[in-house]
Amino acid sequence: MKILVPVDFSKNTQTILDEALKIALKLNAKLCLLHVADSVPEFLGMEHGPQSPRDTLLRKHEESKKALLEIVDTLKNQDCGVESKWTTGPIIEMVLKEAKILKADMIVVGSHGHGAMYQILVGSVSEGILHQSDVPVLVVPTHER
């Protein structure tokens, strides 16, 4: 069994990982961690584009790769298998794509509990995954009520 866990390194990441780990240990499942970083805007790929935004994005990407590996190292001390993948692109699309590639049996995501106006204007990654996924999705509430 494989459990896909998208991670964004927010303050809620540990709560989501804790819940996913509980499930993985009970079901003898493998955790598959996924971080989807921002894509490189087209103008940054141009030879004569501005260098500063390129450097900033590259630094952010390197930091997120390092953070993902640190989480993997922490989880390797547990009694479950763990693997990770780092990619770029639209978050919902990439999570669903990786779920298919991995043949994930479940996706575990967090719900940040933003208000109704945020939902209307921005939407929700967890909601998008929940509505479009072909596999069961566990949404872990991470906000205080």
| The amino acid at 110 | G
d(CA 106, CA 133): 9
Structure confidence at residue 10 (pLDDT): 87
Structure confidence at residue 20 (pLDDT): 96
d(CA 106, CA 4): 6
For residue 144, give the DSSP letter: -
Cross-strand partners of 106 = 3
For residue 40, give the DSSP letter: P
d(CA 12, CA 14): 6
User: What is the CATH topology of the domain spanning 2-141?
Assistant: Rossmann fold (3.40.50)
Structure confidence at residue 123 (pLDDT): 53
Structure confidence at residue 56 (pLDDT): 82
Q: pLDDT by residue (tens digit) across 5-31?
A: 999 998 889 999 999 999 999 999 999
d(CA 27, CA 43): 46
Q: pLDDT by residue (tens digit) across 85-142?
A: 999 999 999 999 999 999 999 999 988 655 554 454 445 888 889 889 999 999 998 8
Structure confidence at residue 118 (pLDDT): 45
Supply the pTM of this predicted model.
Answer: 0.84
Q: List C-alpha distances in Å: 128 to 6, 60, 95, 119, 123.
A: 13, 25, 10, 11, 8
Cross-strand partners of 82 = 31
> What's the half-sphere exposure (Cβ side, CA atoms, 13 Å) at 102?
28
